[in-house]
C-alpha cells in the first residue's frame, strides 16, 4: 500500500446518494399506485357484471344503488324562506347544494303528520359554563361510578310544531328519502335552533 493511500474506504458523496434514494422512492410509489389503481378498477368492473348476471333485473337497480350509497344524502341545512301550509321553503347553503350551478339550492320540505319537530334554545353562556363546571366537579369526585351521567348540552330541547318555525331561521332537516337532488321531499325530522334564553 502506498503511504498516501489510506485503508479507510472513500465515502460516497452524500447529495447524489440522497437524490438516487428519493428518485427510487418516487418511482416505486408511482409503480405501486399504478398497480393498486388498476387492480381496484379491475375489481369494480368485475362486480357490476357479476351483479347483473346473478340477480334478476328487478333487483339489479337496488343493489347497484347500494354500491353507490356514499353519494346519497338524507339531511340538509338551510334558511327558511317561506311557510305555506305544511310546506316549508328553504334556501340551502352552497356547501350543501347538490349542484354547483345552484339548481338545487331552493328546496321544499313537506311536514307530514309523523314529522318530528324539535325546537332547541341555546342556554345562556354563563349558565352553561357554571353547569359544566358543576358537572366536571361531580365527575372528579366520582361518587357513583356505576351510573352514567351525560354531560350538559349547550341547549334545551322541546317538541315543536310547524307554527314554531320562523322565517329566516336556519333549520336542519332529515328525511327517509334520498334528497340529494330532490326539489321537494317529506321531512322526517326538523330541528330549529333559537337564540339564547
- Domain regions of the chain by residue span: 14-67, 72-194
As separate numbers, helices (DSSP H) first and strands (DSSP E) second, the chain gives: 3, 6
* Cα–Cα distance list, 197 to 61, 80, 103, 157, 161 (Å): 49, 21, 37, 12, 19
pLDDT tens track for 1-60:
555 555 555 555 667 666 767 777 777 776 766 666 555 555 555 555 555 555 566 665
Look up the pTM and report it: 0.57
Average pLDDT over residues 154-158: 89
Amino acid at each position: 500500500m502506498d503511504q498516501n493511500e489510506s485503508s479507510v474506504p472513500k465515502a460516497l458523496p452524500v447529495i447524489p446518494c440522497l437524490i438516487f434514494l428519493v428518485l427510487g422512492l418516487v418511482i416505486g410509489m408511482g409503480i405501486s399506485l399504478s398497480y393498486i389503481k388498476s387492480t381496484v378498477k379491475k375489481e369494480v368492473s368485475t362486480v357490476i357484471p357479476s351483479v347483473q348476471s346473478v340477480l334478476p333485473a328487478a333487483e339489479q337497480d337496488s343493489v347497484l344503488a347500494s354500491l353507490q350509497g356514499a353519494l346519497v344524502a338524507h339531511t340538509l341545512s338551510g334558511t327558511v324562506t317561506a311557510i305555506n301550509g305544511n310546506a316549508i321553503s328553504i334556501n340551502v347553503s352552497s356547501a350543501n347544494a347538490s349542484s354547483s350551478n345552484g339548481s338545487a339550492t331552493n328546496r321544499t320540505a313537506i311536514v307530514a303528520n309523523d314529522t318530528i319537530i324539535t325546537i332547541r334554545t341555546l342556554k345562556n353562556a354563563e349558565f352553561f359554563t357554571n353547569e359544566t363546571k358543576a358537572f366536571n366537579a361531580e365527575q372528579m369526585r366520582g361518587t357513583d361510578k356505576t351510573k352514567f351521567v351525560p354531560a350538559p348540552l349547550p341547549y334545551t330541547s322541546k317538541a315543536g310544531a310547524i307554527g314554531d318555525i320562523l322565517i329566516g331561521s336556519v333549520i336542519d332537516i332529515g328525511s327517509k328519502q334520498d334528497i340529494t337532488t330532490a326539489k321537494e321531499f317529506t321531512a322526517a325530522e326538523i330541528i330549529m335552533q333559537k337564540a339564547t334564553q
